[in-house]
Every structure is written in structure tokens, then in C-alpha cells.
Amino acid sequence: MKKVKDYPRPQMVRDNWINLNGKWDFAFDDDNIGEQKEYFKRFPNSLEILVPFTYETKLSGISDESVHENIWYNNRIKLSLNKGKKTILHFEGSDYITKVWVNGKYVGMNVGGYHRFSFDISGYICDGENDITVKAEDSLSGSQPRGKQRYRKESFSCWYVQTTGIWKTVWIEYVPENHIVSVKNTPDYDEKRIYIELNADIGGNETDIYEIETEIKYENRIINTERIKAGTDIFNYEMSICDAQNNHSIKEWSPEHPYLYDITYRLYKNNDLIDEVFSYFGVRKISIKDSKIFLNGKELYLKMVLDQGYWAESHLTPPNEEAIIKDIEIAKKYGFNGIRKHQKTEDERFLYYCDVLGMMVWGEMPSFYVFNDTSVTRFTDEWIKAVKQNYNHPSIITWVPINESWGIFDVSENTIQQRFANSIYHLTKSLDNTRPVISNDGWEHTISDIITIHDYKQDAGVLHKEYNDKELLVLNNKKAYSANHKLFCGGYKYMGQPVVMSEYGGIKFSTDKGWGYGNSVLDENEYLKRFEALNEAIRKTEYFSGYCFTQLTDVQQEKNGLVDENRRDKLSEEVIKKIHNINSK
């Protein structure tokens, strides 16, 4: 497959692009006067920031963790006017309201901190030097999806320093006037076919003929090629992925064998090639039957680790591509087969490397914390964009839109909040009917494909007894657990779904100030003993289909990671191997 280092959109690769990460001029605007003073025409005497790192981080060069609700960026770059080409300015992520000016003219605005958004700036640029100005507006509001970003001025519990402004790659792409806009791939494991929904920007004279050619390869050998004519700007078609040279077989994706196919899309206009996009896909099937989860028809036991995706010097932003790979390798080193990416829509390169290296992922949406019309609208809008953006990645096997009733704190008995949880479940299934959806991870479930439990008891005997009582009181919603929450909302009950212990552990092993769940362990032996006992308690619970251990790394004041914030092992190689073996049983 075609992968260019630091290319931010690995599911849709083109050759002609410019990375705008680097030094930009920067200004705080605490009095919010920048638009009135026209900073987009006359940028003030300013600081300098290293994009895409936010001003709160050390790598940004500013390292100011205080709250600034209005900030500005400015960059001067050389661009060329290419006849027949559009110039698209992409932001992989900027939190929370982002406004853009080019050469002093207002281009547009985006709302939301976690999804990719773009502007066509073709009509605003000139040959030579161009001025790009960005304003980011953020706040501590609980009505916007913010995940683990604190909503107070100081960090507390498991909420961390806020992320303000640009925090993912900014880049420019030159595309033809008529071009491929998006592609949705749905491989069918049983039918050995792939269903494709391709959206193209086509126009011109009515006599123009547009065609899409799709080429599927495996290890540089062509499996199938088809060319179809366009009727509208949306192409819906299907192709066989059988390998005629290998008994009409397919190469299935799994953690043990993460086989991937290359797929190339070519757009023709009047028989002339005008656009070409490189991508890939994996063939795998996630299904649920008889209270169990199956991958490619084989029972799957999840051995996941919770990963919040924070780094000491760059917070939510990966410091580089190598750091993304390292975190996946750490999870593998400890014997995990999946990562629950917690309260974050991660850099898409993370999902690419999970696809390549064979790491399953639960994709999650950052929570809001106040339930009102504004939060419902903002959350729903951004969740749709996140699901569509990451749909094609085979590593994602489950969607988790809501966590621990955050933002819907009265959902146990509040029918309006229950309807919201159910609407998000059904909305997600309408966008993606190939993956399980969890309505409210941890407790107080409504409609849900998997039932999940969060329990940080440190006594393995008590933990085992809690979930192995003969009457199954927790599953039958007759007993409260974990912060006095019940497993189901009022009016809902267990319907035979798979059950996963999706948060447990949280063992603190650190001499630093900070916290973990329960008493800290004093040495490696005590850590290993508690880890093994907790895992054994879960494995001995026959109806569990897996677990998710908290957590991969320390995060700021939270010191319960397997490694510290700088990814240094806390445990010796011998103990790591033992933990790997425990997880690999």
C-alpha cells in the first residue's frame, strides 16, 4: 500500500500535498478584540508556536497551561495557481471553533474539536506568497464534547489540561476541479465482495463522460479491476475480492495476520485520467452470537488496554509518527490484542498502524458534561463525522459513543436522556451496520450490542464473587455496583448480549505524586501478584468475553499506567514477559 511518512489521511492518499506543520506566528486575544482589530490583515506583534502542538504544551514552544479562550495563528506560505486544480486547506483537528482567513478574506468556520475539516481556498490565493490566518475559540463549557480535557481552571481527578486550537496536522492538497471526494468501503467477508460508495465532484458539459476505474491488488498482484460510467456524483458498486489464482480464497484480516489489500481509484473524464487516489482495505467480520463475540467466525476473547493518547510534552498530539507506532508496540509487548482509545478521536495515522500491525480498536467519542439542546446537537454532529471519517479502518471493531453516563447523568431514570442514548445507538447503526455499538460504556445501558462493566476493586476475590453469584444479581439489575450505578437503566434488562469488563485494574505503581485506583503497590512482585489475580478473576467469570485493563500510560496526575508518560517501563523485562504470558493465555 502507498504510505508517505507523516501523510495525515492514509485511507485516501494523493501525491500532490504540502505539510503546513512548523513555525507559525501566534497571539493570545484574551479581550477578544482580534476580529475588530482585523488581525487577519495586520497580525499583531506576536509569539511563535510550533504547529500542531497547542500553546499549553512544551513542544509548542510556549508551555502556558492557563486558559485562553481566543487565540490566533498566522503563516505566510508560497503557493502556485494551477490551472484546472483546486487548492484545499485541511485541518485534521482544531479545538473548538475555528475561523480561517486567506489574504485578509474570510474563508469559513468549523465547529468541533475532533474531526477533519477542509476549505476550498482556490478563489482566495495568488501565485507566490499567501497569508493564512486562523482564529480558534475555545472554552471550559460542558456543552461541547471535550473528553478528558478539564472543565475547571485546574486539573482534577482524571481530567487533564485543556487542549486549545490546532492540535493535528494542517496541510494543503491540490486536486483537479473534478475529483474524488470520499470513498466508503464495506468488505463482505461471507460473500467475498467489497461494496463501494464513492462520492465525486463532477460537472461540466452534459456531453462529458465520467468513469471510475477501481483496481484491487494483493502483494502487487491484481485481483480485480472494473471500470464503470457515472450516472450521478455518487457511485455505488460492488466488486469480487476472490483470488482466482488461490482457489477463489480471500486473505482475512486479524491481529495474528493483518492482511491488507491495496485499492486504487481513478477518475476519468472523456477517457482522460484526471484524478487518482490510493487506499487499502482489510476483510474481516465482527459478529455476535449466543452471548459471544466472533472475529471471522471464530470466538474472540478481547484482551484490551485503555489508552488515553496523551504525551508528557505534547498532550493530545502525538509528538511524531514514531511515537504512535511505539504505543501500539508497547500494547503488543504486554500481550494485548486491542486498544480502547479513550475519550479521543485519535490521529488517523494511529488507526493506519493498527490496521498494519494487527491491533483491534474500540473507537470512542469524547464526552460532554451538561445535557441540553446545544450539547446534543454538537455531539451528534461531530459523532457522525468521526464515524464516517474512520469507517474504512478494519482495526476498528466497536463504536463507543458514550462513557459512564457522562453528559447524561440522570439517564438511569430520565427517559429523555435514555432516548438520546438510543438515538445515538440507532444513528450509529444506520451509518455502520457492520460493527457492534455500545450505548453507554460501563453501566446504565439502554439498547446495546455489548454490555460493559467498569469495576476498579483491587481485591480479586471480591471482584470474582461480585460477578459469579448464582443469581447473577448484577446482570439481572437487582444489585448496584461501582459507584452505586446499576448495569441497566430503568425499563431495560439483560438480553443475552456478550459481557466485557471494559475498565478494571488502574494499579498505581509510582513514587510520584498522583493517584491510581486503590492502594499503590510497593514493588514489582506485588504489582504482578495483583495483576495476575485480577485477570484470573475475570477469566474465571465464564460469561465474560474479555476485558480492558486501565491503562497503557501515566497521564499527567494519573499514575496508573503500565509505563510512565515518557513511555519508560516501570517493570523489568522479566515481569513484562510474565504479564504478556498472562494476557496471552
pLDDT of residue 462: 92
pLDDT of residue 513: 83
pLDDT-based confidence at residue 469 (cuts at 50, 70, 90): confident
CA 427 vs CA 383, 388, 401, 407: distances in Å:
10, 12, 11, 18
Q: Is the pLDDT of residue 246 over 80?
A: no
pLDDT of residue 46: 86
pLDDT of residue 514: 85
pLDDT of residue 215: 98
Whether the Cβ atoms of residue 200 and residue 177 lie closer than 8 Å to each other: no
pLDDT of residue 8: 96
C-alpha cell read off for 56: 499549553
Range list of β-strands (E), 447-498: 451-454
pLDDT of residue 83: 82
pLDDT of residue 575: 95
The three state secondary structure string of 208-228 is CCEEEEEEEEECCEEEEEEEE
What CA–CA distance (Å, rounded) separates 47 from 24? 9
The length of the chain is 585
Q: Is the pLDDT of residue 245 over 90?
A: no
Q: Is the pLDDT of residue 120 over 90?
A: yes
Q: Is the pLDDT of residue 207 over 90?
A: no
- Per residue in 319-329, pLDDT (tens digit) is 999 999 999 99
- Per residue in 410-458, pLDDT (tens digit) is 999 999 999 999 999 999 999 999 999 999 999 999 999 999 999 999 9
* Domain chopping of the chain, boundaries: 17-176, 179-281, 286-583
pLDDT of residue 247: 78
Largest CA distance in the chain: 77
What CA–CA distance (Å, rounded) separates 517 from 522? 14
Q: Is the pLDDT of residue 82 over 90?
A: no
pLDDT of residue 84: 83
Q: Is the pLDDT of residue 470 over 90?
A: no
Whole-number average pLDDT of the chain? 95
C-alpha cell read off for 272: 482522460
Q: In terms of DSSP H, where are the helices of 134-274?
A: none
- Per residue in 369-405, pLDDT (tens digit) is 999 999 999 999 999 999 999 999 999 999 999 999 9
Q: What percent of the chain has pLDDT over 90?
A: 89
Q: Is the pLDDT of residue 489 over 90?
A: yes
pLDDT-based confidence at residue 585 (cuts at 50, 70, 90): confident
Do 17-176 and 179-281 fold alike per CATH? no
| pTM of the predicted model as reported, rounded to 2 decimal places | 0.96
Sign of the torsion formed by the C-alpha atoms of 154, 155, 159 and 160: positive
pLDDT of residue 243: 84
pLDDT-based confidence at residue 219 (cuts at 50, 70, 90): very high
Q: Cβ neighbours of residue 427 under 8 Å, at least 6 residues apart?
A: 380, 383, 384
pLDDT-based confidence at residue 312 (cuts at 50, 70, 90): very high
Question: For the domain 286-583, what is the CATH code?
Answer: 3.20.20.80
Burial of residue 199 (number of CB atoms within 10 Å: 0-12, 13-18, 19+): middle
Whether the Cβ atoms of residue 340 and residue 364 lie closer than 8 Å to each other: yes
**List of long-range contacts for 478-487, beta carbons under 8 Å, 24+ apart:** 481/443, 481/453, 481/455, 482/442, 482/443, 482/453, 482/454, 482/455, 482/456, 485/405, 485/412, 485/442, 485/443, 485/444, 486/412, 486/443, 486/444, 487/443, 487/444, 487/445, 487/451, 487/453
pLDDT, mean of residues 478-499:
89
Check residues 325 and 483 and name the one with the higher pLDDT: 325
Burial of residue 186 (number of CB atoms within 10 Å: 0-12, 13-18, 19+): middle
- Per residue in 122-178, pLDDT (tens digit) is 999 999 999 999 999 999 999 999 999 999 999 999 999 999 999 999 999 999 999
Q: Is the pLDDT of residue 479 over 90?
A: no
What CA–CA distance (Å, rounded) separates 317 from 137? 18
pLDDT of residue 269: 93
Whether the Cβ atoms of residue 579 and residue 334 lie closer than 8 Å to each other: yes
What CA–CA distance (Å, rounded) separates 237 from 29? 50
Question: For the domain 179-281, what is the CATH code?
Answer: 2.60.40.10
User: Domain 17-176, CATH 2.60.120.260 — does that match?
Assistant: yes
